[in-house]
């Protein structure tokens, strides 16, 4: 075999091996979370829904994918499957607030403002999960995102100490390209998530304990007792 073809074959074998090894964490993640992923109608009750940020449009409205996550929270609240919502997003740039946008959307959709807590330092999925557990005291939650993101989000939240289940938005019909891209992106993201689960790094910003979720749940208990 000519040297050039030998090198080409070697690189091809290496590329295939990398692809296969890269898929292993992704497949493992799917199986590891299979018992913790549900549809809206059959998800077990949890005191809190954690809605993960997914971008804000230039006009200040949530992106389509984020709006769909928020709609899931509205459905669960109206069905009585959750008592409070923790919206967790990126607010690291001036005049850009995923958290405030999410809160406003939920209030406009009928979720009482006093049932919503905001995490302004949810810069990544792991950050949102760790802060939900350690900063907001969340022990049980349903995580709301897109289908392609649910396995990783649930796995990371459970690694952070939350009894987490997940519900995903079926985004393919309306955002086919974004959904396919999301699934492809989850393959390398699963590799990074495995490292995160093993190393348990600190979030970008932890900070002091915040009582937003506690207050929202206390309000829910008061209203339940009064009814």
Supply the CATH number for residue 149's domain. Answer: 3.40.50.620
Over residues 127-131, the mean pLDDT reads 98
Q: How many domains does the chain have?
A: 1
> What percent of the chain has a predicted confidence (pLDDT) above 70?
89
Three-state DSSP at 63 gives: coil
How far is CA 216 from each of CA 115, 116, 211, rounded to the nearest angstrom?
5, 6, 9
Q: What is the pLDDT of residue 3?
A: 56
Over residues 154-179, the mean pLDDT reads 91
Three-state DSSP at 140 gives: strand
Q: pTM above 0.85? A: yes
Tell me the C-alpha distance between 71 and 176, whole Å: 19
Q: Which of 72, 94, 92 minimizes the C-alpha distance to 81?
A: 72
Q: Which of 87, 81, 70, 82 minimizes the C-alpha distance to 41?
A: 81
pLDDT class of 222 with cuts at 50, 70, 90: very high
Tell me the C-alpha distance between 148 and 85, whole Å: 21
Is residue 7 predicted with pLDDT exceeding 70? no
Q: Looking only at Cα atoms, what is the longest distance across the chain? A: 83
Range of the domain at 158: 3-226
Residue-wise pLDDT for 55-77, tens only, equals 888 888 999 999 999 999 999 99
Tell me the C-alpha distance between 227 and 221, whole Å: 10
Residue predicted with more confidence, 191 or 146: 146
């Amino acid at each position: 075999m000519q040297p050039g073809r030998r090198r080409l074959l070697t690189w091809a074998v290496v590329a295939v091996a990398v692809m296969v090894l890269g898929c292993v964490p992704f497949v493992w993640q799917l199986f590891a979370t299979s018992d913790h992923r549900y549809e809206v109608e059959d998800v077990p009750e949890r005191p809190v829904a954690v809605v993960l940020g997914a971008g804000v449009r230039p006009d200040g409205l949530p992106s389509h994918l984020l709006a769909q996550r928020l709609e899931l929270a509205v459905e669960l609240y109206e069905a009585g499957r959750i008592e409070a919502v923790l919206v967790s997003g990126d607010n690291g740039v001036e005049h850009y607030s995923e958290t405030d946008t999410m809160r406003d959307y939920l209030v406009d959709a009928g979720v009482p403002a006093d049932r919503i807590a905001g995490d302004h330092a949810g810069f990544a999925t792991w950050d949102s999960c760790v802060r939900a557990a350690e900063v907001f005291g969340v022990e049980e939650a349903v995580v709301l995102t897109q289908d392609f993101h649910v396995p990783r989000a649930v796995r990371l939240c459970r690694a952070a100490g939350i009894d987490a289940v997940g519900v995903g938005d079926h985004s393919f019909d309306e955002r086919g390209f974004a959904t396919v891209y999301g699934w492809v992106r989850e393959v390398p993201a699963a590799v990074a998530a495995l490292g995160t689960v093993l190393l348990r790094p600190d979030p970008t910003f932890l900070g002091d304990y915040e009582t937003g979720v506690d207050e929202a749940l206390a309000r829910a208990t008061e209203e339940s007792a009064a009814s």
